[in-house]
Structure 1
Amino acid sequence: YNHGLFFFDLQLPPSYPVAPPQVYYHSFGLRLNPNLYESGTVCLSLLGTFDGEGTELWSPATSSLLQVVVSIQGLVLNAQPYYNEAGYKALVGKREGHRNALPYSENAYLLTLRTMLHLMRRPPQGFEKFVKEHFRCRGRFVLRTCNTWLQGCVVGDAHATESSREQPCSAGLRLALANVVPSLIAAFTEIGAEGCD
């Protein structure tokens, strides 16, 4: 999710704080995380959109909007989204989990890039200037990361083990990047991002 922008609408229902806030994710029809549906649903126990127990559930006495935002940032938009799939947390540290986590993360990265393109083409109303400035400043870093992936290197995973850092990305990712990078270059150039030629 490096350098990406993700937009969420939070609405407080009339029964708030007895009921949790309602959260909608601007997905552009892309599911870049198991907890973020194409429909815009954010799947979290805290929001009542997934099963949970104890402190995972909304409590009118102790839960807050900050808790919701931090949960989205820290629990959903994390370095290994594969393990957010229901039941997959048990695969952490196991061969099957390791084998499946990298391609899942590669796909999440591609979908993040596609989300960037959607945002530059159709930013949420009122955020046009913010989106443009964000990508104007970060476009060159996005392209630098893409170039590193195109050369077959694994980047941006602070939680990777030494052996997995040496593992190159897949040929499928390089092929998909080769198709999306020209659109990114064009979009970044159009908004005047530096170093994107």
Structure 2
Amino acid sequence: MFECGEVRLNLSHQWTLPSGQIWVPLVTTMYDLLVAIRDKVLNADPLFHQPGFVDCGFSVVSEYFSFLYNKNVLIKSLKIMTCIMNKPPKNFEAFVIGHFRNRVIDIMKEYTAYVNGLKAGNGEGNNGCCCSHEFREAVASCISELNNSFNKIEQLLMTLSVL
């Protein structure tokens, strides 16, 4: 993920098909692409799969950099969610509205846990602090904008139901 919000996934020299071949245009399937995204991006430590990351094995330093990277991705995800809700991609407006309407409670619960200093996703009984004060403030500042975007979606849905 880059500062501008762009996400790049380079498969050409980093990933091989089960047959041992490198990505082959017009041969490699969408399934292959989705598996690569799952393996490289949608995991607990995506930093370790970034181009240029030198794998030195497990170390406290590499784990710390991964932790910082994940916190940065979380903040950017909040900002991207807000942008997508405020200006959905053309022809995906209904999908965006439906997705966020269905997920608003889970999203707010997850990020509220971070603001409260709890590790999200560990249930109501989690009392361990996992976040720095600065990180918690950064999440809190994004949540008000996110909440406003959720409210705009609800208002839009009520307007549409009246018509």
- Regarding TM over 0.5, the answer is yes
Q: Give 4+ residue runs of structure 1 displaced > 4 Å after superposition.
A: none
Per-residue deviation, 1:170: 2.0
Following the alignment from structure 1 to structure 2, what is the Cα–Cα distance between the partners of residues 167 and 100? 19
Asked which structure has the greater CA Rg, the reply is 2
Following the alignment from structure 2 to structure 1, what is the Cα–Cα distance between the partners of residues 130 and 151? 29
Aligned to 1:113: 78
Aligned to 2:102: 137
Match of 1:68 among 18, 30, 33: 33
Per-residue deviation, 1:62: 5.9
1:29 to 2:4 alignment: yes
1:96 to 2:61 alignment: yes
Per-residue deviation, 1:92: 4.8
Aligned to 2:159: none
Percent identity over the alignment is 24
Aligned to 1:44: 10
The amino acid that maps onto 2:132 is S
Following the alignment from structure 1 to structure 2, what is the Cα–Cα distance between the partners of residues 142 and 97? 28
TM-score normalized with structure 2 length: 0.76
Listed one character per residue, the Cα deviations across residues 62-113 of structure 1 (whole Å, up to 9, x for unaligned) are 6212101221233223222221223536245211111111111011011111
User: Matched residue of 1:90: which SS?
Assistant: coil
Aligned to 2:133: 171
Aligned residues: 148
Following the alignment from structure 1 to structure 2, what is the Cα–Cα distance between the partners of residues 149 and 30? 22
Residues 149 and 155, structure 1, Cα contact 8 Å, conserved in 2: yes
Following the alignment from structure 1 to structure 2, what is the Cα–Cα distance between the partners of residues 72 and 139? 25
Superposition CA RMSD, Å: 2.9
User: Matched residue of 2:55: which SS?
Assistant: helix
| Unaligned stretches of 5+ residues in structure 2 | 123-127, 156-163
Q: When you count helix as a share of all residues, which structure comes out higher?
A: 2
Structure 1 window deviating more from structure 2 (142-151 vs 61-70): it is: 61-70
Following the alignment from structure 2 to structure 1, what is the Cα–Cα distance between the partners of residues 116 and 9? 35
Residues 9 and 37, structure 2, Cα contact 8 Å, conserved in 1: no
